[in-house]
Structure 1
């Protein structure tokens, strides 16, 4: 589907959507009902953690509104009797219209922006950013929506709405989010990332760490393919010698091909797999510009950065909130150097600049 066709569909959707948004403002909302939703095809992150946490808003009715069959399958596998409905179902629409609070991982459209008028919007953003996000993006394709905000805010209003509350997990993150979301200090909710509440302890207790997890972020220009930037035959040989599997876990928005053929010790994880479940069994986490580097640092999981396209990424995709070379992780820009460093023993790294808050949400 071309971008022109997508834009045309979005304009038609917005014409109907604004009417629905206006009507939704007349519905009485239940302050003790919370609807949850996530922007990707995976049941994961802060939204999952808060939805499942019985101590979080324990007096509220918590309902998950799903937009993807993979998420539905994950919800069906849960113990107990969780409440969840499709965003297009009658019950899903009803609960979305009557919920007092929306809890989402990116935008109110994770649930349904057009039915959100007068609801309290709580954005529990999915990660601590290195790359610039939202209103701070000035390079690459996604800078266009900021340049023409006067137009796009009517076609894609969910991209520009300011949340009533915004979860922040550190002083560094707060500084990033203040400009990215253009919110006042009163909007910030300070807490340790709910998605990581048990990860540190789980990682320590896991005995069978038998793989290296590689979690590259997606590129705005869809330019990166792992197999074109690393000698996978050599990598496979190193993994075989170490008795490990190199597990590639792409970003949920990444549609690029990362393997050119099958390998005995290099595997591709399904997009629907939860990174936070997988990383518990990893001896090492490898990423590039993804927020998972900070998640691993918070939980004392060793990290290596593999950034063979560093210059082009900063030119064609995103700039950074801080100098990537000042981060406390080993940084490799060539495939050969990256493979060589995998023979080393790794320890977790930390930095006072990025220390997270210690309190948890209740």
Structure 2
């Protein structure tokens, strides 16, 4: 353990020394998502737009070592390196740009010439950053957590905001004082653009559910701590009977369950495979695009799905248990744009109402207000605008500007 700590300290000092002493490497961009998980979310869509515009730029993904083989299998065209490796050490401190959607370690020093674009990863539902009144995490306390958060946010040169609601919260919760990019989210460009493309939708639908022509219902609940059984073992019990739900569906309708990847294998759909699919590897945007109804609970997926202006059903079956958390939400849960049901009987009834009517007319006004608050910045051009910003930053660094005399 002592040797491991020594190696870690040497690595940190070497990283920061390189960041201080070395110039940035032109057109080198480091991408990361969720602290080194798979290439995904907003950074992935910025990557795709930048790769298309500038195939000559050197774009590098940092991924956790244990995910490296799978990441390279999924994205063979990408340059992917292990996070916190020697390779990463020679890229991260001298990259011209960082494009990330989560925090970096507090000890890490940014090169003064590196431009750090923080995309973040969603409209906030639960409290975050310095707005969290009490932090209970191993190895830290509330004061230290807040200090680490503000240390990180001061490194961000730009922060993407998906809407004014998020911008106001980010400014306070992150103690952020640099420049916001009021672009909407790059990951949502597809929801704006492909939702209008019948051929694209048909191709996605064919890939995921085959030749089914009925309605597609997407169930995407939030992660719950009680999914944990013991180290390495997680289990999710569906809060409804699959037989009752399938009985309510038409023969060509499909229920897609989108669980957290840790519990995917614990979901038993035996006997219902013809109309029920568990989709954990598919892009969540693809599932949004082909779905006619979203069923969720406290998940922030509601904000992205609202871009499509399609109905939502809210099934917080453990509402009483979460009342304390809900009081800590930024958003008033009473304003969700769809029916709220808390037991299986009402859930199946609300599902049957949608299947017969295709909508929830009584919630039209709530949906309009919800979309006005959360989706008006989504124009389908966020990725392009981030690339344009990066081009401008690169040109600004390359050309010495002289003031007119």
Q: Indicate the residue corresponding to 2:73 in structure 1.
A: 73
CA contact (8 A) 2:293 2:311 kept: yes
2 CA distance for matches of 1:164 and 1:321? 25
Residue aligned with 1:183, SS? coil
* 1:312–1:18 Cα change, 3 Å: farther
1:246 aligns with 2:238: no
Higher relative contact order (CA 8 A, sep 6+): 1
- Kindly tell me the number of residue pairs found equivalent between the two proteins: 342
CA contact (8 A) 1:66 1:72 kept: no
Q: Indicate the residue corresponding to 1:47 in structure 2.
A: 43
CA contact (8 A) 1:303 1:329 kept: yes
CA contact (8 A) 2:326 2:333 kept: no
CA contact (8 A) 2:222 2:296 kept: yes
* 1:41–1:211 Cα change, 3 Å: farther
Moved more, 256-265 or 124-133: 256-265
* 1:228–1:269 Cα change, 3 Å: closer
2 CA distance for matches of 1:90 and 1:10? 15
Paired residues for 1:186-205 under 5 Å: 186-204=178-196, 205=198
Q: Indicate the residue corresponding to 1:212 in structure 2.
A: 217
Residue aligned with 2:299, SS? coil
Q: With structure 1 as the length reference, what TM-score do the two structures score?
A: 0.79
- Cα distance per residue 1:127-159 (max 9 Å; x no partner): 112222233233684599552416x96xxx579
Q: Indicate the residue corresponding to 2:241 in structure 1.
A: 231
Q: Indicate the residue corresponding to 1:346 in structure 2.
A: 359
RMSD in angstroms over aligned alpha carbons?
Answer: 3.7
Q: Indicate the residue corresponding to 1:326 in structure 2.
A: 335
Alignment match of 1:97 (pick from 90, 93, 100)? 93
Moved more, 272-281 or 350-359: 350-359
Q: Indicate the residue corresponding to 1:24 in structure 2.
A: 18
**Residue 11 (structure 1) shift:** 7.8
2 CA distance for matches of 1:49 and 1:230? 35
**Residue 62 (structure 1) shift:** 2.6
CA contact (8 A) 2:63 2:80 kept: yes
Q: Indicate the residue corresponding to 1:286 in structure 2.
A: 295
Paired residues for 1:349-360 under 5 Å: 349-351=367-369, 352-357=372-377, 358=379, 360=382
- Cα distance per residue 1:207-229 (max 9 Å; x no partner): 45653222212135647965352
1:87 aligns with 2:83: yes
Alignment match of 1:315 (pick from 315, 324, 340)? 324
1:161 aligns with 2:152: yes
Larger radius of gyration: 2
* 1:53–1:228 Cα change, 3 Å: closer
**Structure 1: runs of 5+ lacking an equivalent:** none
* 1:231–1:278 Cα change, 3 Å: same
Moved more, 141-150 or 33-42: 141-150
**Residue 103 (structure 1) shift:** 0.6
Residue aligned with 1:330, SS? coil
Residue aligned with 2:217, SS? strand
Moved more, 90-99 or 287-296: 90-99
CA contact (8 A) 1:141 1:221 kept: no
2 CA distance for matches of 1:293 and 1:164? 29
CA contact (8 A) 2:149 2:174 kept: no
* 1:139–1:217 Cα change, 3 Å: farther
- Cα distance per residue 1:181-240 (max 9 Å; x no partner): 1212x331110211111223323422456532222121356479653522232123223x
2 CA distance for matches of 1:91 and 1:191? 33
Q: Indicate the residue corresponding to 1:120 in structure 2.
A: 115
